Amino acid sequence: MKFNRISRKAVCALIVASSLAACSSDSKPEASTPAPADTTPAAAATTEVPATTDNGSADAAAAAAAAVEKALIRPTQIEVTAPLGVAAPKGKTIDWIQCSIPACTQLGGALQEATDALGWTLNIIDGGITPETIANGWQLAVANKHDAVIGSGFPEVVFADSLKALDAAKIPVVLLNVTDEPGNGVIAVIQGTPAYGPNGALQADWVTTDSKGSANTLYVSTSAFPVVGLRADGFKAEYEKVCTGCTLDKLDALPTDFGDALNTQIIAYLQSHPKVNYVVAAVSDMITGLNSALAGASLSDQVRVMTNDLNPALAEDLKADGPLKAATILENVNVMWQIADVLVRAFAGVDYSATANAPSNGWIVTKATIDGFVDPYPMVEDYQAEYKTLWGV
């Protein structure tokens, strides 16, 4: 397989090092090598194993198909199973440093529900979307001196001084969707490194199975959130194993371009690379509006699209049976209740390690299974009731 990294614009990445550096403009995109097999998009989603082994071993293809078949079934049980066992502490105030993309706002709404259920107060701090604005948000949390702080997406290097201050004040911190490990005041990392590689691998399994081993894929990711890179790495590693005759290119996007600007970049790439027959996005908000953009460019029949997670616009696109065919789902709003479970156990002096280390459920949503899966898109339908039962509230 040939893998080309393409950066269509200057990318301001978060560098996990002693300082943050801005990246300069990138080189011209390279064209991918076409796969030897027919690159016509498959007619429909399937778990059928490719009929030949030209594009990968039969064993790898069979394993990919089996993983997809299993993941098409919606989970029905939250990962946490142990009751709290004591009265849930009341009267806590929690700071949530919320980034400005829609997915973060959605998470904040779920956290509000969880804190309300526990009789707590949630203080939402606008973190923006740049390292500087996120750092400012953490400084506000230090000044607030509330009972706990929750952050998402940005690595500790961005707010290291604030984290030290919170640790010194014995204010617990929970992080979500980062590559950092617990320690230095961070009592838990939810949906961290162990969740993202397998999630990306499942995307690769779906593309391989859906294309019957004949995919030429453009993978759209971002280096702004290191944990998202783990999903891209997981995709690449699995894709190389199960779809060896396929090709893979990568487009690295700025979060500020998510949506229309990024869709324009994707369209331009597809127009100059007509052999590409799959577009896979690492984050749902990246490709909001892509179905319409593809139709406007007369490219709807050229590619099949997959993303991770959904928003209302993408859910409608999936129901419409246009280019968007599937979405992998990690715990989304559910995960904010998992974070609340960590904190309520920590405040109560109860072991929270099982909650903190619980593996994430996984699911692939298609047109056939999206009915009943509505905003804010909980993976387990009655997750709130299950957590309330565990907490005794």
Under the banding of pLDDT at 50, 70 and 90, the label for residue 101 is confident
Mean pLDDT of 253-267: 96
* 20, pLDDT greater than 80: no
Mean pLDDT of 347-365: 95
Domains and CATH numbers, the chain: 3-9+32-74+195-330 (3.40.50.2300), 93-191+332-358 (3.40.50.2300)
* 30, pLDDT greater than 90: no
Mean pLDDT of 291-308: 98
Q: Given this model, what pLDDT does residue 229 score?
A: 92
Name the CA dihedral angle for 79, 84, 85, 86, rounded to a multiple of 10 degrees.
Answer: 180
pLDDT in tens, 212-230: 999 999 999 999 888 899 9
* 50, pLDDT greater than 60: no
Q: Given this model, what pLDDT does residue 224 score?
A: 86
Which of 34, 32, 58 lies closest to 212 in space, CA to CA?
58
Mean pLDDT of 307-327: 95
Report the C-alpha gap between 337 and 342 in whole angstroms: 9
Which of 243, 245, 293 lies closest to 267 in space, CA to CA?
293
Q: Given this model, what pLDDT does residue 332 score?
A: 85
pLDDT in tens, 177-200: 999 999 999 999 999 989 999 999
Mean pLDDT of 6-14: 35
Report the C-alpha gap between 54 and 36 in whole angstroms: 9
Mean pLDDT of 314-332: 95
Q: Residues 240, 246, 250, 251: is their CA dihedral positive or negative?
A: negative
Paired sense of beta strands 278-281 and 216-221, if any: parallel
Under the banding of pLDDT at 50, 70 and 90, the label for residue 102 is confident
Under the banding of pLDDT at 50, 70 and 90, the label for residue 372 is confident
Q: Is the peptide bond before 36 cis (omega within 30 degrees of 0)?
A: no
Determine the 3-state secondary structure of 14 from DSSP: coil
Residue indicated by tokens 């400012």: 136
